[in-house]
């Protein structure tokens, strides 16, 4: 087998392992990531995981970084959808609503933020993901207000909306706020924040 073929096979195996790690993080959170379980999901031996990742921490770090990258890539312009409805929907998904995929997204984001406090090596992935997410939300804010807004100002509005959503997500994950209530709060707060920002501009 040529060196190029070997490199391609290694890359494919690593991607397969990362897919399994991301799936585990979505389903179980960081605490549920176990080498043997990830290996079984990926269809490889535990030894092969250690070939690609030095230890469990390295696997978790890479899995979170990959999950965050996929997460951030999902926020963006609304296309033909109603921009305001799309913005509300994205913020609800950011919180972890609705259940299912939305809940998994919320767990991934919370797990990454918590892990980054104790693992500085994860900070670049968190910062990059946050930057991409914020840019996507800022684009949606601009579209929801008809376009042509000041980039600095819409980035500030995106920051406010994301901060509010982050707080609601922690409430939902801790069980101190019901998902239905969080959904209603998001739908109510987005027009208020946008209107307040428009008033401040005026």
Looking up residue 48, the CATH number of its domain turns out to be: 1.10.10.60
Same domain, 100 and 184: yes
Digits of tens for pLDDT over the chain (202 positions)? 677 787 888 899 999 999 999 888 877 878 788 999 999 999 999 999 999 999 998 998 888 888 877 766 665 554 556 888 888 988 888 787 655 555 666 667 777 777 778 888 888 888 887 888 888 889 889 988 888 778 999 999 999 998 998 899 888 888 899 988 999 999 999 999 998 866 555 5
Same domain, 19 and 87: no
pLDDT at position 159 is 93
Q: What angle do CA 120, 126, 129 make, to 5 degrees?
A: 160
Q: In whole angstroms, give the CA distance from residue 24 to residue 33.
A: 6
Same domain, 85 and 148: yes
pLDDT at position 22 is 87
Contact 138, 154 (CB under 8 A): yes
Q: Which two tokens stand for residue 83?
A: 């921009």
Cis peptide before 98 (omega within 30 of 0): yes
Q: In whole angstroms, give the CA distance from residue 87 to residue 140.
A: 6
Which of 18, 39, 64 finishes a domain? 64
Backbone angles phi, psi at 52, to 5 degrees: -90, -25
Same domain, 75 and 10: no
Same domain, 107 and 178: yes
Backbone angles phi, psi at 80, to 5 degrees: -85, -5
Farthest CA pair distance, the chain: 67
Same domain, 89 and 188: yes
pLDDT at position 96 is 73
pLDDT at position 83 is 85
Q: Tell me which residue range forms the domain holding 18.
A: 3-64
Same domain, 157 and 78: yes
Same domain, 9 and 97: no
Q: In whole angstroms, give the CA distance from residue 106 to residue 115.
A: 14
Tokens 């995929």 label which residue?
101
pLDDT at position 103 is 61
pLDDT at position 101 is 56
Contact 23, 43 (CB under 8 A): no
Q: Of how many residues is the chain composed?
A: 202
Same domain, 104 and 154: yes
Which of 13, 41, 64 finishes a domain? 64
């Amino acid at each position: 087998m040529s060196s190029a073929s070997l490199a391609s096979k290694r890359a494919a195996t690593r991607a397969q392992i990362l897919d399994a790690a991301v799936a585990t993080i979505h389903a179980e959170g960081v605490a549920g990531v176990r080498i043997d379980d990830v290996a079984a999901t990926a269809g490889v031996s535990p030894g092969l995981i250690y070939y690609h990742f030095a230890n469990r921490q390295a696997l978790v770090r890479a899995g979170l970084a990959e999950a965050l990258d996929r997460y951030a890539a999902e926020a963006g312009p609304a296309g033909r959808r109603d921009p305001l409805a799309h913005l509300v929907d994205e913020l609800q998904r950011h919180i972890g609503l609705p259940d299912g995929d939305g809940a998994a997204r919320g767990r991934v984001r919370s797990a990454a933020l918590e892990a980054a406090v104790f693992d500085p090596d994860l900070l670049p992935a968190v910062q990059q993901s946050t930057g991409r997410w914020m840019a996507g939300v800022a684009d949606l804010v601009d579209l929801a207000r008809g376009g042509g807004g000041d980039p600095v100002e819409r980035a500030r509005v995106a920051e406010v909306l994301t901060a509010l959503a982050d707080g609601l997500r922690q409430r939902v994950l801790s069980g101190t706020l019901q998902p239905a209530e969080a959904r209603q709060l998001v739908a109510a707060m987005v027009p208020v924040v946008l209107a307040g920002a428009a008033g401040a501009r005026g």
